[in-house]
Amino acid sequence: MLVFLKDNGYQIPSYCGGKGSCGKCKIKVISGIKEPDKQEKLLLDKTEIKKGVRLACKQKIEDDLIIDIPYLEQMSILTEGNNFKENLNPVLKKVQISASPGDLNNYRGYLNYFYEKLSVNDITFKALKKLNKINSKKEKNIFNVIYDQQKNRIIDICCVQHKKQPPRPFFGLAVDLGTTTIVLYLHNLTNGELIGTFSLQNPQEKYGADVISRIKHTIEQPAGTKELQELLISSLNQSIDEITGVHNIKKKDIYMVSMVGNTALLHFLLGMETESIANSPYIPKFTDSFKISPDIIGLDINKSGFITVLDSISGYIGADITADMLAVNMDQKNNKNELLIDIGTNGEIVLKNDSQITACSTAAGPAFEGANILYGMAGIPGAISSFMLDDTGKRIYKTIGGQKVKGICGSGLLDITASLLEKKIITKQGKIREKKDISDQYQEYITEHKGHRAFIIKAEKEGTGNNKILYTQKDIHELQLAKGAIRAGINILLNKTGIKKNEIDRIYLAGGFGNYLNPKNACKIGLLPEVQENKVIQIGNAAGSGARKHLLNQKSQKRLKNIKKNVKYIELSTTTEFQNEFMKTIQF
């Protein structure tokens, strides 16, 4: 049933890609209900089962059914970067040229005339064909010509009616392809203005919340790679329709796209096989940047334009991370020790010491995005995003959008853990203490869930909403695994470079989770090294900012090449230190 619902436009969470292991695709069966199977009994409460709640991935449509699908609001998607600004110097330039028979007396053809006027020496065949529109009987022909300054090549010639009409603006898109979300930025390349942004959830989520699940789908299904590519291109084209429609812009006026994303997603975009990324030694098909025609993948922009896929570093350090580094100027010498962390299903970690950059990637798992957490969820309205316990025993929390409590997102999960540690409700080993071993004012919040201790964040009839929210012993273990993997990666980079944690000058936190977490609490649970709070800088969607810099200024291309050249990549799976560090950092 899950695939049927998703194919028909219903957004049902399914972090495991319909494998029946995450327990998130809950629906209520009103008519035609069947007994729950073993996995549903494991993942659902007895009260939920009595109310008719089932997992959509476990339901087979064999007869008429009446179901109730929980209404889930659009995820809150981070689009802004930190103090973005960039000088305008795009690769493409647009100029207006007039040509009459008299202008051509000293030339052997219109093309030679254009070459000299623009100081170029090449033209694409598509653009050459546009010269057929020249009317030799007209006294004067007026053209808007777009050319590539780096390749000295004309890529398009457009006829215009009146000489006094200024060249029509032309546009570019910067696109951040995230595992969970996609963000598009539309810029006017004539003046650099940001026209608008558009964001959406990545539709590939139907095949799993993480890229490994999606790669597995491509291995198991003969047409899997094509399915993932078509999903991505279709959603991008729909997004282009939306953003151009809202701003009354013609799609044919978009000539450039700068594309960033993790290495696997860029392979999916181009229809490239990804099995080698999932298996040791994790070698992707490509990491260098290159340009392709939109025709090749069917992206709906001007067919004379091009898409640039930015540089990646390795199978698990993608173009999104090189864009992060570009956004915070990691290519510039400043005698600072800078740590950059982008936390998602994978945690990408970069440490810069002057001009030397060292990077690694660690599999944090999707706990910070709500997966494998009993009441975990993405950052949608109603998710608990901050939490604290005061000394009187009062639980104080906020939800995204101030709405009724529906679950806990990553930043809320981190705050809850820090609070329970501070009040000695959980041990440094991550065990929830017995009631008798904690302060009286917190004892009423200790309960049991499926034979293990849990902490009551919200009781069933308490406050807003009729659902209870628990933080279980299993949830704590999942968080420990995620934060332990990230911190182990950080420690290994520090050890490899000889930098002590008190010598870190800045910690940049990129991405949605990094932007909204409480830095003090992140240090408290050991996710981040203990540093002064003012050294932690939340840089928002830095991948999007880096893509925009690439779009607006051709010098950024050279800067990205320098970044890539200076990065030393460490494959943690082949280092003996990782397991030792992980065992140390798994504790709080």
**Is there a single domain that holds both residue 409 and residue 542?**
yes
Query: How many CB atoms neighbour CB 520 within 10 A?
Result: 13
Over residues 235-269, the pLDDT tens digits come to 999 999 999 999 999 999 999 999 999 999 999 99
Asked if the bond preceding 222 is cis, omega within 30° of 0, the reply is no
Q: Is 271 contained in some domain?
A: yes
The whole-angstrom separation of Cα 378 and Cα 513 is 10
**Is there a single domain that holds both residue 344 and residue 428?**
yes
What CATH number is attached to the domain comprising 155?
3.10.20
Q: Taking CA 473 as the corner, what is the angle to CA 469 and CA 479, rounded to the nearest 5 degrees?
A: 90
The whole-angstrom separation of Cα 480 and Cα 119 is 60
Q: Is 416 contained in some domain?
A: yes
Closest CA to 267 of 222, 319, 305, 223: 319
Classify 421 as helix, strand or coil: helix
CA distances from 503 to 20, 531, 577 (A): 46, 9, 21
The model's confidence at residue 161, banded by pLDDT at 50, 70 and 90, is low
Residue ending a domain, choose from 110, 137, 160: 160
**Is there a single domain that holds both residue 369 and residue 447?**
yes
Burial 130-161 (b: 16+ CB within 10 A, else e): beeeeeeeeeebbbbbbbbeeeeebbbbbebe
What CATH number is attached to the domain comprising 215?
3.30.420.480
What CATH number is attached to the domain comprising 29?
3.10.20.30
**Is there a single domain that holds both residue 14 and residue 40?**
yes
Decide if pLDDT at 55 tops 60: yes
Q: Is 236 contained in some domain?
A: yes
Residue range of the domain that includes 8: 2-68
Average pLDDT score over residue span 29-47: 85
Residue 75 pLDDT: 64
Bridge partner list, 143 = 97, 159
**Is there a single domain that holds both residue 253 and residue 402?**
no
The whole-angstrom separation of Cα 288 and Cα 173 is 20
Decide if pLDDT at 282 tops 80: yes
Q: Is 86 contained in some domain?
A: no
Q: Is 496 contained in some domain?
A: yes
**Is there a single domain that holds both residue 298 and residue 370?**
no
The model's confidence at residue 345, banded by pLDDT at 50, 70 and 90, is confident
Q: Are 258 and 309 in contact (CB under 8 A)?
A: no
The model's confidence at residue 521, banded by pLDDT at 50, 70 and 90, is very high
Average pLDDT score over residue span 467-490: 94
Residue 270 pLDDT: 97
For the chain, give the percent of residues with pLDDT over 90. 65
Closest CA to 305 of 337, 259, 239: 259
Q: Which of 212-226, 402-416, 462-476 has the lowest mean pLDDT?
A: 462-476
Decide if pLDDT at 71 tops 70: no
Q: Is 351 contained in some domain?
A: yes
**Is there a single domain that holds both residue 59 and residue 97?**
no
**Is there a single domain that holds both residue 196 and residue 329?**
no
Decide if pLDDT at 73 tops 70: no
The whole-angstrom separation of Cα 358 and Cα 490 is 11
Residue with tokens 């619902």: 5
Q: What mean pLDDT is reported for the chain?
A: 90
Closest CA to 92 of 295, 299, 255: 255
| CA dihedral angle for residue 134, residue 137, residue 139, residue 145, rounded to 10 degrees | 0
Residue 166 one-letter amino acid: P
**Is there a single domain that holds both residue 324 and residue 302?**
no
Residue 425 one-letter amino acid: I
The model's confidence at residue 538, banded by pLDDT at 50, 70 and 90, is very high
**Is there a single domain that holds both residue 343 and residue 256?**
no
Residue 163 pLDDT: 62
Q: Are 214 and 264 in contact (CB under 8 A)?
A: yes
Say how many domains are in the chain: 4
Over residues 523-534, the pLDDT tens digits come to 999 999 999 888
Highest mean pLDDT (candidates 105-119, 136-150, 542-556): 542-556
* Helices first, then strands: H and E counts in the chain: 18, 25
**Is there a single domain that holds both residue 323 and residue 432?**
yes
Residue ending a domain, choose from 257, 275, 309: 309
Over residues 177-215, the pLDDT tens digits come to 999 899 999 999 999 999 999 999 899 988 888 899 999
Pairing of strands 171-177, 254-261: parallel
Q: Is 82 contained in some domain?
A: no
CA distances from 562 to 1, 309, 326, 547 (A): 49, 16, 10, 16
Highest mean pLDDT (candidates 27-36, 363-372, 533-542): 533-542
The model's confidence at residue 46, banded by pLDDT at 50, 70 and 90, is confident
Q: Is 376 contained in some domain?
A: yes
Pairing of strands 66-68, 141-148: unpaired
Bridge partner list, 187 = 172, 194
The whole-angstrom separation of Cα 319 and Cα 564 is 10
User: H helices within 311-444, ranges in order?
Assistant: 319-327, 410-422
CA distances from 478 to 123, 309, 376, 405 (A): 57, 34, 11, 22
Over residues 113-159, the pLDDT tens digits come to 889 989 999 999 999 998 887 776 676 778 889 999 999 999 999 88
Average pLDDT score over residue span 470-487: 95
Decide if pLDDT at 108 tops 80: no
DSSP per residue over 155-216, as a string? EEEEEES-TTSPPPP-EEEEEEE-SSEEEEEEEETTT--EEEEEEEE-GGGGG-SSHHHHHH
**Is there a single domain that holds both residue 48 and residue 101?**
no
Classify 391 as helix, strand or coil: coil
Decide if pLDDT at 459 tops 90: no
Decide if pLDDT at 558 tops 80: yes
The model's confidence at residue 166, banded by pLDDT at 50, 70 and 90, is confident
